[in-house]
A and B are shown apart, each in its own frame.
Chain A
Amino acid sequence: MSEAAVHSMVEPAETPLTPDSWGKLGMWIFLAGDAVGFGTLLAGYGAMRATSGDWPNPYQVLGINLTAVMTFLLICSSVTMVKALEWLGKGDRSRAIQYLFFTALGGAIFVSLQAYEWTHLIHRGLHINQNPWGATLFGTSFFLVTGFHGLHVTGGVIYLLSMIRYVANRPEPAASYNAVEIAGLYWHFVDLVWIMVFTFMYLL
């Protein structure tokens, strides 16, 4: 009897807490940690804003038309992500790859629009240590939080592009289902965080 067979025999019984996929559990734990990071930034933003005497009204100085488009874009990319997974579940690899590509494209356009927005605001005088409309910390927190999120989107685009390669190289579509679902969790998380950032940093 091989050593591996012995190991499988002494494997402890599954508990109700044992997940279907350890990878998925790992991603959820990572996302929870990451969410604490974003939560800290947003909580810090809230505390600074609540106690500042000259905090500007964000939607009046930042402009929200472009950001509303960016929000919509990210929601659309979440839909293409779930569609990619759905096609993979149905065994249609080429459609799954197509939708993964659309998702990555949505993320890339989002980051480009953010770069455009940043450039525009910097030209109007909003810097990380300078704010023409009041509290300096407004500029600091704006660039820090949106920048941290933008880095997540950039990382997500790279992750999605690597998933396209991964799906293409698997012998059968079902073999990559779990990995794509885990990548999807990350992507939806980035969308979820943007929902919060958009509300707290632009609308409120």
Chain B
Amino acid sequence: MAETAHKHPSYMAIFWYLAILTVIELAVIYLPLPKFTIGVLLCALALGKAALVAMYFMHLRFETRTLGWIAITPLAIATLLVFVLLPDGFAVLKTTEDAKKPAAAAPAKH
């Protein structure tokens, strides 16, 4: 039967890892570090937590590789999307900043 096919990990251990990582996340935002470093730390902690949930609670670690590939695809797509959207975002930012400047300094170039 499926339930005996793979060994279950200690779910309580995963729970404690997740709880501790959440506490670390809450502490990180108050650390006297540059905003960029805090951002990188938070992203790493979030990905770590997500990986724990996917690997152990969703049993991905004990599944076939096909399911792993299916699971990793959205992450790649979302990461690419950020880069696809950024140029549009910066264009909007530039327009907003141009609009804030005095009318004389903003010739009608668009």
Contact = CB atoms under 8 A, between A and B. Distances in A.
B33 interface: no
CB-CB nearest 10 A-B residue pairs: A39-B78, A51-B89, A89-B3, A35-B74, A47-B85, A199-B46, A43-B81, A51-B93, A47-B89, A188-B57
Given A17-B64, A192-B53, A83 B11 contact: yes
Interface of A: 16-17, 19-21, 24-25, 28-29, 31-33, 35-36, 38-40, 42-44, 46-48, 50-53, 59, 64, 68, 71-72, 75-76, 78-79, 81-83, 86, 88-89, 174, 177-178, 181, 184-185, 188-189, 191-192, 195-196, 198-200, 203-204
A204 B39 CA distance: 6
A199 B44 CA distance: 10
Interface residues of B, number: 52
Contacts of B90: 51
A157 to B, nearest CB: 18
Interface in B38-76: 38-39, 42-43, 45-46, 49-50, 53-54, 57-59, 64, 66-67, 70-71, 73-75
Nearest to B100: A53
Contacts of B106: none
B20 to A, nearest CB: 11
Given A32-B70, A71-B22, A46 B3 contact: no
A47 B88 contact: yes
A79 B11 contact: yes
Nearest to B38: A204
B108 interface: no
A189 B85 CA distance: 25
A139 to B, nearest CB: 17
A25 B67 contact: yes
Contacts of A46: 82, 85
Majority SS of interface residues in chain B? Answer: helix
Contacts of B2: 20-21, 177-178, 181
B22 A177 contact: no
B96 A82 contact: no
Given A51-B89, A89-B3, A195-B50, A43 B25 contact: no
A78 B57 contact: yes
Contact of B19 (A48, A72, A83): A72
Contact of A19 (B19, B54, B66): B66
Given A25-B67, A76-B15, A192-B54, 9 more contacts: A16-B64, A17-B64, A43-B78, A79-B14, A82-B57, A196-B50, A199-B43, A204-B42, A204-B43
A38 B46 CA distance: 15
9 contacts: A24-B67, A28-B67, A47-B85, A72-B22, A75-B22, A79-B12, A79-B15, A192-B58, A200-B46
